[in-house]
Amino acid sequence: MRQVCFEMRFSGRRALLLLAALPALALAKGPDDYELFQTLKSDSDFEQKPWVEVQQQLPPPPDSSSLVPIDVSTLTSNKFAIDERSVTFGGDEVIRYTLVVTSPGGAQNISYEGIRCATGERRLYAFGRADGTWSKARNNAWVRITENNLNRHHAALFRDYFCTTGGSVSDTAGARAVLAHGNPAAKNQ
């Protein structure tokens, strides 16, 4: 009996810790904050079903008329755009999109990628070729989104567009809608 009471108090303490952390999580601003949430969530007694990624089909090549510029940073002279037609929110809660990066000289890099808001990770599926076909990425593992100059566009898509705390997109229409002006919830942080 004594052991049962101890286990109940211990579980109760975890629940209280999780409840106490919720206000702080409401102010979360990026991938590191989501890691804290995932740690607290994994410490709880909630059952979690295993996540399974759905098979995706590569989209048609990007069309210049459907490219929506995204604001990344003034620290780069590259221009970043998302092909709005390619943006989808899958049943596995992965937001997939075609990214077009254009250098000041006009060279373009095209990639088909995905972001998981729940884990703060991204994945590269394929690279676009000049002839409009795709080349599957060799290294297509899920990797953590980090805030640095090299991956600034991923952090911007995560924090300012798709995965804003208190306003993450939850369907394809929502994911496409935030492209034009950013996620309104991000502006309130």
- The tens digit of pLDDT for each residue in 136-188 reads 999 989 999 988 877 789 999 998 899 977 678 889 999 999 998 887 776 55
pLDDT digits 0-9 by tens, 60-87:
999 999 999 998 877 788 999 999 999 9
3-state helix, strand, coil in the chain (%, to 5): 35, 25, 45
Please, what sign has the CA dihedral across residues 7, 34, 176, 135? negative
Is 9 a residue whose pLDDT tops 70? no
